[in-house]
Structure 1
């Protein structure tokens, strides 16, 4: 039986969320916003989800040092030592490296779950069951485990996992391949094939397995730290990490570790899931009305409008006629009106252009 005290969670909350610009801004990105008007931000909802079955003291937040005050305001229960405040953005692999060092010094038998802070889960009871099953699997096996969801549409904005040989554990398969954000035609082929599942970005492993993988697949990270770990207290460890963090490779967990290992497995889950990191993914997950318009916590009157995404500030009214396949989003000093198709690439271009021409006040 898995010991809950050995189960830890690292919530990744350091991204700038530029794909949901202008509502997600550099000084206040999407994970700290009550995007859908539920009364809780995305970070708070993620934290709430895990506190139901993981001890609060075992939950860590990986974020950028610019967002530490936001984390403390929104999660007052989190201890200072459980906030890993990175001085620069270096993607998710260095974030996990630091988290694993911190957690292994607390509990060398730790099983670690890494989770994004910007996902929707539609069945929390099944989610809890699947994650606990995942903890049990990685506690007994020196293997990395991802969580896969059966696709409901050919979504090009998600990553895909191809399953291979079945393991001895129910619903767990060896990973044959990872594919990151395929073209729509390939996404259709993946759905028809039946071997491909959405990559949720949820990842589990025990602390020994993670440490071994980093030594095998990435340039030496924190070698000096590894050799001196017993000499550090919390404060000196944090200072050491911050002094050396800019030297880390800018690489993701998926690319730096999972994609290079032949020891990765996937659990097929059914808790209902959506990545809401882009306007298009929000539209795909929320559109169900007759006219297929998605209005997000906004006051809008629409006529002869189809397939749009609308989000405007509280206290404002939008009256829209004859609009199709468009994103309308306003926040502070920016109004975005953009065709929904290829919006992720367009928004990336606009953000860069705005920052170059007008400065940081608009991003």
Structure 2
């Protein structure tokens, strides 16, 4: 384990797609959506404990989730729970974490990851991360992980890589980064990387496509799902902020004397609201010229929907997946059922349904129409307002 490895886990989201389990008071990263006794945040922290010591793991979250993080991750330093007073997207979140880490270890090599993703092949994930960190430690690059697509998925953004055969013809070498580092004999053989595990140079980031475009991406072979997991050295990402988001970086540079002191939170509370609301993808990754992607396959899902959760959970012979000790199913197929531990439930005849009870709400919804969950949630909220 390298003492210069630092992990930044982003845990400030308030998504409602797992409603009624997920609420603004307790969003999905703090829930045991898999029914295995660990929340998604706890699984994420445990996954990185072999990569970096506990004192090098930082969690950036909303101030209102401070107690939840502290309760679920008691092994982490209280000072490593970074509290945002308001939502400002991922670039300010990462800029804050980088400024704090700079005061702790100027030679830091970093991983930035969401708190609410599922990884089913953890050994492979750790291997990919370790290889990626070895790469970013030596090269002035910003590395992201791309998942090899196994179907035409419209719910993910995509990363387009430069066609490697064209590169062989057009370039004998490629210069990357602000310091003019070069990879001899083409980008498709970067130093320190095995040929079959090589990072690839990124050509473009693509928004979530329609179905036909997604099919074209998969057939092309140069596109990967964007997992939203980043690896870079502190020096490389600092240079990227200098070049592409200098005003944002300056906010935290001005407060460097307060970071890692008892004045840190006061400074953040006063200055963070002045940060622009901008994603790291739009602010840096889509503009920098030293972006690489590491193709990977470690059983990844961003668990953005109940349907994606159904795909990842273990299922019985009828295709049903159930959380709840007293649930009985009859003539039911391909359903996802999530019930309180002691709730007695009998379900008969449903096919391809979501059945969830939590927070005094029972949801019964067709899987194919789960995009309407926000509509259903709004209807319940309006009903509660009328009654109150």
Q: Same fold (TM over 0.5)?
A: yes
For residues 13-62 of structure 1, what are the alpha-carbon distances to aligned partners after superposition, in whole Å with 9 as ceiling and x for unaligned?
A: 11113111111111122111222221221111111111122111110011
SS at match of 1:178: strand
1:218 paired residue number: 245
1:174 paired residue number: 201
1:229 paired residue number: 256
SS at match of 1:338: strand
Higher deviation after alignment, 101-110 or 145-154? 145-154
Higher deviation after alignment, 38-47 or 176-185? 176-185
- Judged with a 3 Å threshold, the aligned counterparts in structure 2 of structure 1 residues 159 and 232 are, in CA distance, closer, same or farther, namely closer
Alpha-carbon shift at residue 135 of structure 1 (Å)? 0.8
2:131 paired residue number: 133
Structure 2 residue 309 is the aligned partner of structure 1 residue 282: yes
SS at match of 1:229: coil
Give the conservation status (yes or no) of the 8 Å contact 1:118–1:277.
no
How many residue pairs get aligned? The number is 359
Q: In the TM superposition, what are the counterparts of 1:85-164 in structure 2 within 5 Å? A: 85-164=83-162
- Judged with a 3 Å threshold, the aligned counterparts in structure 2 of structure 1 residues 288 and 331 are, in CA distance, closer, same or farther, namely closer
Structure 2: stretches of 5+ with no match in the other structure: 165-187
RMSD: 2.4
Give distance in 2, aligned partners of 1:273 and 1:297.
25
Larger radius of gyration: 2
1:320 paired residue number: 347
- Judged with a 3 Å threshold, the aligned counterparts in structure 2 of structure 1 residues 260 and 346 are, in CA distance, closer, same or farther, namely farther
Structure 2 residue 233 is the aligned partner of structure 1 residue 197: no
1:348 paired residue number: 374
TM-score by length of 2: 0.85
Structure 1: stretches of 5+ with no match in the other structure: none
For residues 47-80 of structure 1, what are the alpha-carbon distances to aligned partners after superposition, in whole Å with 9 as ceiling and x for unaligned?
A: 1111122111110011111111111111111112
Alpha-carbon shift at residue 299 of structure 1 (Å)? 3.6
Give distance in 2, aligned partners of 1:185 and 1:291.
31
Alpha-carbon shift at residue 104 of structure 1 (Å)? 0.9
Give distance in 2, aligned partners of 1:233 and 1:309.
45
Aligned with residue 59 of structure 1, among 46, 57, 60: 57
- Structure 1 stretches of at least 4 aligned residues deviating more than 6 Å after TM superposition: none
- Judged with a 3 Å threshold, the aligned counterparts in structure 2 of structure 1 residues 252 and 353 are, in CA distance, closer, same or farther, namely farther
Alpha-carbon shift at residue 232 of structure 1 (Å)? 5.1
